[in-house]
Chains A and B, each alone.
Chain A
Amino acid sequence: MTTHPDIAEPVVELRGVDAGYGERLILSGIDFSVRRGQLVAVMGGSGSGKTTLLRLVSGQLRARKGSVRVFGESLEKISEKELYALRRRMGMLFQFGALFTDLSVFDNVAFPLREHTDLPESMIHDLVLLKLNAVGLRGAATLMPSELSGGMARRVALARSVALDPELIMYDEPFAGLDPISLGVIGQAIRKLNDALGAASILVTHDVVESLSIVDYVYLVSEGKIVAQGTPDEIRASTDPFVHQFIHAEADGPVPFHYPAPPLAESLLESEVAR
């Protein structure tokens, strides 16, 4: 029986988190949580800090301020061994799949099983074929990653990321650059996998239409802050100018089109003087 997301315990919990690279602060004051059974979308423009949020949750980046808890464990002072123990319960789908180019499709999916279990090769064989069947690519098991299209590579990577039946699955831009059919297939696969595994999932994306149709909850990120959150219906009905601009893909609005710069006339005059 799957626990209802509203009453399930949080799998991921961020409280007042600041994070960044070097001297650059990317995220500030982030409060974020995902419960078991929930599929949560993190949306925002390019460079808004979505992927940094995933890096925080997966322990690739440490928070400068605030607390990050995953499966109830704080990631602040966690050892490498403890982090790897947590990561065995996670799966991550990378933007371009990140398949191992020297391994076949079959061996890519078998990789986590061979590394982390003592299962006999015959059982690994069956499990891999079942995972590949779930993403519709059982027939492509012998192909090499270089022989796959972008959509197929993403589906193989999806099969690999859930090979160990993770309790937390993270997707980094899974829809980027996909044709409409592959996009729909991946979207449905993400929803079904989350429900079948009873997992918690975080979907980082800027594909509004597909995401709102499959997720339970949405966080909108802009300039390193969470500017709006709610269920897909609440987000669609929102009158907030930022949400409206993002959901309806409008060029004009609170999100500036131009990167901060002095007025155009001033820049042109400067170059004139320099000549």
Chain B
Amino acid sequence: MIRLLRALGRLTVDGVWQVGFATRFLFVMLRHSGPSFARFSLTIRELYFSGVLSLVIIVVSGAFVGMVLGLQGYDTLQRFGSESALGSIVALSLLRELGPVVAALLFASRAGSAVTAEIGLMKATEQLTAMDMMAVNPIARVVAPRFWGGVLSMPLLAAIFSTVGVIGGWFIGVVVIGVDNGTFWSQMANSVDFREDVMNGVVKSFVFGWAVSLIAVFQGYDCTPTAEGVSRAITKTVVYSSLTVLALDFILTSFMYIGK
């Protein structure tokens, strides 16, 4: 029993220490973020690696999620004779929830893991120490551009995911099943509110971008500089990012929609 309590205590202390260290790391990184904007080419490069190279998985997943929404939505709505509301269901589901959340989960697995692996391997092969020895701060030169690249690409990827998803839902609903085209789009236009739905989705994706990017760069920078350490850090990035995105989604949704 004592052993169990001791293990639980150690786990809690380690967890609190990690959160504290990650917060301190965030502030150090923000303090050294100047070069990421002064030399914007550094961040553009990371936007390409994190954002552009994630496009394939985002577009394909968005299309399939939208098509599934079209099928499921139609199947449910036609039981109540409300198949004309398909456009609203597809758009609201994607803009409010699925777009930001699924895009963030995919982003964590594709780009987050890659960022952790890259920084972790740079640490393991002494590239970060070499940079530090050349009087170039690795947090400013390597970590911060990757962080901002992730933060900036996440809302764009979520927007692309939602757009492609809506097209997928339209394809299944209108082209394949035969729901009226005009009804599909007019219902969507009537029910979607720019501030309530679109902007809240953007805010969510921006917050997820911060969380996933911070976890990815922190795990890479903090990893044990061995092959095993890097592999563990990548796993942690995917697991912690996914859990954080889901938890943050619940909290943000509570504030955005329930509490009004």
Chain A residues in the interface with B (C-beta under 8 A): 58, 60, 80, 84-85, 87-88, 90, 92, 94-96, 98-101, 111-112, 115-116
In the complex, the chain A residue whose C-beta lies closest to that of B118 is A102
Docked-complex contact B136 and A58, CB < 8 angstroms: no
Residue interface bits B113-140, CB-to-A below 8 A is 1, else 0: 0000000011001110111111111000
A84: chain B residues at CB < 8 Å are 135, 137
Chain A residue numbers with a CB within 8 Å of B121 are 101
A88 and B130 contacting across the interface, CB-CB below 8 Å: no
Q: Identify the 3 closest CB pairs spanning chains A and B, nearest first.
A: A98-B130, A98-B126, A84-B135
Contact present for B133 and A90 (CB under 8 Å): yes
Is A94 within 8 A of B130, CB to CB? yes
Q: How far is the CA of A84 from the CA of B137 in the complex (A)?
A: 9
- Asked if B127 and A60 make an inter-chain contact with CB atoms under 8 angstroms apart, the answer reads no
B141 to chain A: which residues have CB within 8 Å?
A: 115
Question: Within 8 Å CB of A112, what residues of B?
Answer: 134, 136
Contact across chains for B133 and A96 when beta carbons are under 8 A apart? no
Bound-state CA distance A101–B125 (Å) is: 10
Q: How far is the CA of A68 from the CA of B33 in the complex (A)?
A: 32
Q: Which residues of chain B are within 8 angstroms of A99 by Cβ–Cβ distance?
A: 127
* Bound: A250/B133 CA distance, A: 36
Q: In the complex, are the beta carbons of A115 and B134 less than 8 A apart?
A: yes
On whether the beta carbons of B125 and A85 are closer than 8 Å, the reply is no
A100 to B118, CA, bound (A): 11
The complex places the Cα of A210 from the Cα of B155 at a distance, in Å, of 58
Question: What is the predominant secondary structure among interface residues of chain B facing chain A?
Answer: helix
1/0 per position for B74-112, CB-CB distance to A under 8 A? Answer: 000000000000000000000000000000000000000
C-alpha gap A229/B254 in the complex (Å): 70
How far does the alpha carbon of A67 sit from the alpha carbon of B204 in the complex, in Å?
A: 52
Determine the chain B residues whose CB is within 8 A of the CB of A92 once the complex forms.
Answer: 130, 133
A36 to chain B, nearest CB (A): 20
Specify the chain A residue showing the minimal Cβ separation from B121: A101
Q: A85-B135, A87-B134, A115-B134 are in contact. Are A60 and B125 (CB under 8 A)?
A: no
Q: Provide the residues of chain A in CB contact with B130, threshold 8 Å.
A: 92, 94, 98, 100
**Please, could you name 16 A-B residue pairs with CB atoms under 8 Å apart, sorted by A?**
A58-B133, A60-B132, A84-B135, A85-B135, A90-B133, A92-B133, A94-B130, A96-B126, A98-B126, A100-B127, A100-B130, A100-B131, A101-B121, A112-B136, A116-B135, A116-B136
A98 to B125, CA, bound (A): 6
| Contact assessment for B129 and A96 in the assembled complex, using a CB-CB cutoff below 8 Å | no
Q: How far is the CA of A268 from the CA of B136 in the complex (A)?
A: 53
Taking a contact as CB atoms under 8 Å apart, the answer to whether A115 and B125 are in contact is no
The chain B residue with its CB closest to the CB of A172 is B126
What B residues does A85 contact at CB under 8 A? 135
- Report A-chain residues with C-beta under 8 Å of the C-beta of B127: 98-101
Closest chain-B Cβ to A149's Cβ sits at a distance in Å of 16
Asked whether A87 lies within 8 Å of B133 as measured between CB atoms, the reply is yes
Residue-wise interface mask of B (31-58) relative to A, using a CB-CB cutoff of 8 A (1 in contact, 0 not):
0000000000000000000000000000
Q: Give Cα distance in the complex from A112 to B129, angstroms.
A: 14
Q: How distant is the Cα of A87 from the Cα of B133 in the complex, in angstroms?
A: 6
Beta-carbon contact of B129 and A94 below 8 Å: yes
Is there an interface contact between B136 and A96, defined as CB atoms closer than 8 Å? no
Tell me whether A60 and B135 are in contact (CB under 8 A): no
- Complex CA distance for A112 and B132, rounded to whole angstroms: 11
> Which of B122, B129, B133, B136 makes the CB contact (< 8 A) with A115?
B136
Task: Please indicate the chain B residues that have their CB under 8 angstroms from the CB of A60 in the complex.
Answer: 129, 132-133
Assembled-state Cα–Cα distance A84/B133 (Å): 8
A202 to nearest B CB, angstroms? 13
CB neighbours of A95 from chain B (8 A): 126
In the complex the two chains form, is B135's CB within 8 Å of A87's CB?
Answer: yes
Would you call A88 and B135 a contact (CB within 8 A)? yes
Contact B134 A111 (CB under 8 A): yes
**Which residues of the partner chain B approach A116 to less than 8 Å between Cβ atoms?**
134-136
Contact: A96 with B132, CB < 8 Å? no
Q: How far is the CA of A85 from the CA of B125 in the complex (A)?
A: 25
List chain A residues, Cβ under 8 A from B126.
94-96, 98
How far apart are the CA atoms of A60 and B135 in the complex, in Å? 12
CB neighbours of B136 from chain A (8 A):
111-112, 115-116
Most chain A CB neighbours (cut-off 10 Å) among B121, B125, B131: B125
Chain A nearest CB from B12 CB (Å) reads: 22
Distance of A36 Cα from B233 Cα, bound (Å): 44
What CA separation (Å) do A46 and B259 show in the bound complex?
Answer: 63
Shortest CB distance B180–A (Å): 53
* B135: A residues at CB distance < 8 A: 84-85, 87-88, 115-116
Task: Supply 20 further A-B pairs (C-beta < 8 A) apart from A84-B135, A116-B134.
Answer: A60-B132, A84-B137, A85-B135, A87-B133, A87-B134, A87-B135, A95-B126, A96-B126, A98-B126, A98-B129, A100-B127, A100-B130, A100-B131, A101-B122, A101-B125, A112-B134, A112-B136, A115-B134, A115-B136, A115-B141
